[in-house]
Amino acid sequence: MPYRAAVITCSDRAAADVYEDRSGPVLRDGLAALGFEVDAPVVLPDDAALIAAAIADAADSGARVVLTTGGTGVSPRDVTVEATRPLLAYELPGIAEAVRATGAAKTPLASLSRGLAGVIDRGGARAFVFNAPGSRGGARDALAVLSPLLVHIVEQMDGADHDLNRPASV
């Protein structure tokens, strides 16, 4: 049975239909290509309470991977990091650093992302959460780093051994 994943787009303008969500579908398609069962992105305004509730709901509904996009920068409305941090049982800072480094090789703006990576534990329902930047390029950079890791992360959350040399299945 494939693992479930969820994508949450955090953007006032996309939520108000001022413009189309373009980074959420990049993440959804990337997860689907990896074999994850994933629905269309949930699009929310930049509201910390709504974002936190959506992340928690995704994990409670069985998502093992929850990717957010948007709200990781330095504008006053960028609150995705603040919504995510209190939910995390622990952070995986190396993943967020790797995504920033991948993006910084293309644009110095990638260094402005404050996105987090970590694991939430909802009473035994554990999920990996990552805050991707809100651009298509940032979403692609996130997938470049996350793609070889996601199945392994889920397996590790379930107590599997550390063997990246064996084929993983979703």
Q: Is residue 133 part of a domain?
A: yes
- Domain count across the chain: 1
> Which of 166, 152, 133 is CA-nearest to residue 34?
152
Q: What is the pLDDT of residues 82-96, one digit of tens each?
A: 999 999 999 999 999
- How many residues in total does the chain contain? 170
* Structural domain range at position 41: 4-157
Asked if pLDDT for residue 1 goes beyond 80, the answer is no
Contact 109, 102 (CB under 8 A): no
% residues pLDDT > 90 (the chain): 90
Q: Is residue 165 part of a domain?
A: no
Query: Average of pLDDT values for 9-17?
Result: 96
| Single-letter code of the amino acid located at 51 | I
Assign 89 to helix, strand or coil: strand
Query: Average of pLDDT values for 16-44?
Result: 97
Q: Encoding tokens for residue 73?
A: 């920068």
Q: Could you tell me whether strands 88-91 and 37-38 are parallel, antiparallel, or unpaired per DSSP bridges?
A: unpaired
Q: Is residue 164 part of a domain?
A: no
Query: Average of pLDDT values for 97-114?
Result: 96
Domain containing 32 — which CATH number? 3.40.980.10
